[in-house]
Amino acid sequence: MRNFIDKIKDVIELKYEHLRGLNGLLTRDIKRITGIDINKGPSSVSRALKNPISTISTNGLVSENLKANDHLMCEVDSEDIWIKVRLMIEAELDHYVEADLEVKVDKSMHAEAFQRVLQKLILQIWDQYVSDVK
């Protein structure tokens, strides 16, 4: 079953770009949702969560815990997260920089430290922009 859990993690990283490259990516609390008819097409998550849900054991073999066409749900967690940052710098009418960035941040980082990292990043981007304009 451990290999199956690792496989779930790998598929999640491939399918969901915002989860790629995160440190300590974990899948936990794997649950089976029953009563979903795959022939009726995709159902909404909220509708699916109204169906009976049972926790899947992570011990033993996959065949002991799951069967074909089971629908699974799991919690995903990691040591860090991706934070989207929109950067807008304006200095005088003809100098303007706008950028969208994604920054990977350790969740245990203090907010003040994160603020300093962003400030340094902004200064580096502005310095590069000013030197390119000259």
Reported as a single tens digit per residue, the pLDDT across 72-96 is: 888 888 999 888 999 888 877 677 7
Q: By C-alpha distance, which of 8, 63, 12, 54 is closest to 33?
A: 54
| Prediction pTM value | 0.55
Residues 6+ apart with CB under 8 A from 23: 78, 79, 80, 106
Reported as a single tens digit per residue, the pLDDT across 22-31 is: 888 888 788 8
- pLDDT at 35 exceeding the cut of 80: no
What is the rounded CA–CA span in Å between residue 54 and residue 31? 5
For the residues 45-53, what does the mean pLDDT come to?
A: 73
